[in-house]
Amino acid sequence: MNTKEMPGGRPLPEGDMTARFYELYGKDTQPELFFAPGRVNLIGEHTDHEGGHVFPCAIDFGIWALAAVCPGETVRLCSLNFGDQGVVEAPAHGIEHDIARGWANYPLGVLRILEDHGYALPAGLNLLFQGNLPEGAGLSSSAAIEVLTACIVNDLFGFGLDGVKRALLSQEAENRFIGVQCGIMDQFAVSMGKKDHAILLDCAKLDYRYAPLPLGGCRLVIANSNVPHSLASSEYNLRRQQCEAALADIQKVRPAENLCELSEDEFNAVQEAIRTPEALRRARHAVTEDARAVRAVAALEAGDLVTFGELMKGSHLSLRNDYEVTIPELDALAELAWAHPGVVGSRMTGGGFGGCTVSIVERDAVEDFIRVVGEEYARRTGRRASFYVTGTANGAGRVSGGLK
């Protein structure tokens, strides 16, 4: 098992990023350090694109960047997470998607969308990234680097964009430049996270409020199945289409702008209008999951972790039975967690078809939880899980004090 525990707040990456920055870009400017967290969604999965509620929190795993303004009209980028393959260069203006740039298309896409909205770079930019988010685990590494880029240029060039606007522009970059039709949840959580809190976000209206996350003697434990997933997969897009078909059928018998504006009773009254059993199941998940998210926040605010845990389990079962985005490895991790006496609640998190579960585990039981679940998961699946014990974090921003 690979177990990694990060302290609360924003731990700095290992290694001397500053020295590497100077090697790449020279010592003419003093770079500034920025950080963007990953996110984990506690409940409310596959509801954001149906106009529903989500309940994510930012976590203290994430991506750091050293950034400095430079003369000229060139953006230079390097990531230490891809074998330090050297510098990617792009023009500061009129950036186009280039598959050969690989990972760099994510930050470059944000720069292009910013320019499209009237926020063109007035100078060049040197960037060096390093992160500790597990790749392919569904903890929003793409959203983190997008929001991080928006945060950097907003700070260095004084564009005056608030956190919500930075999230929206980052989402637009992923939709238009990258071509992944994600909802707003990931970018919003990365941008607007608040330590010791989660965010109840109405994705249709962008109304949000912070809810205290009273974990008390518990910790958040993320278990990575080590089955990579892809949000651009055909199965993910198919489920979106099935939800759209269900909504179209419902609209023939009553007005509705999105699935999640329906209460469970309202949905039950019109569900016979949905013509295919697959579309019915997808829509039922969206509606019931939206209701679970709202009830879960009320339970947390009442200090009722037991009910919150039960709703997490209900969420996973709905994702398994109705939305059908779990896989045997995710089901195994969730079932093993439910059976452990130190677990308050557990569910898959993220898009599905791989990735992670998130569990609320009593602090004194964390070590045993990791051992027992890890060993049994390996026995059942032949795979090794990775575990990350994490805390909450604030949203993307400049790191005061710089890199030590």
Per annotation, catalytic residue among 60, 186, 202, 290: 186
Half-sphere exposure for 352 (CA within 13 Å, toward CB): 24
Contact residues for 248 (Cβ-Cβ < 8 A; gap 6+): none
Contact residues for 159 (Cβ-Cβ < 8 A; gap 6+): 114, 119, 153
Distance of CA 74 to the CA centre of its chain: 30
Rounded distance between C-alpha atoms, residue 78 and residue 99, angstroms: 16
Burial (CB < 10 A; 0-12, 13-18, 19+), residue 66, is buried
Contacts 24+ apart (CB under 8 A), 371-379: 371/1, 372/336, 372/340, 373/223, 373/333, 373/336, 373/337, 373/340, 374/1, 375/1, 376/332, 376/336, 377/223, 377/329, 377/332, 377/333, 377/336
Rounded distance between C-alpha atoms, residue 40 and residue 331, angstroms: 18
Residue pair 371/1 in contact by the 8 Å Cβ criterion: yes
DSSP code per residue over 240-294: HHHHHHHHHHHHTTS--SSGGGS-HHHHHHHGGG--SHHHHHHHHHHHHHHHHHH
Rounded distance between C-alpha atoms, residue 376 and residue 116, angstroms: 51
Is 196 known to be catalytic? no
Which tokens is 150 given?
Answer: 């928006």
Rounded distance between C-alpha atoms, residue 258 and residue 20, angstroms: 49
Residue pair 78/38 in contact by the 8 Å Cβ criterion: no
Rounded distance between C-alpha atoms, residue 42 and residue 315, angstroms: 10
Backbone torsions φ then ψ of 323, nearest 5 degrees: -90, -20
Among residues 227, 33, 30, 40, the alpha carbon closest in space to that of 130 is found at 33
Active site residues: 186
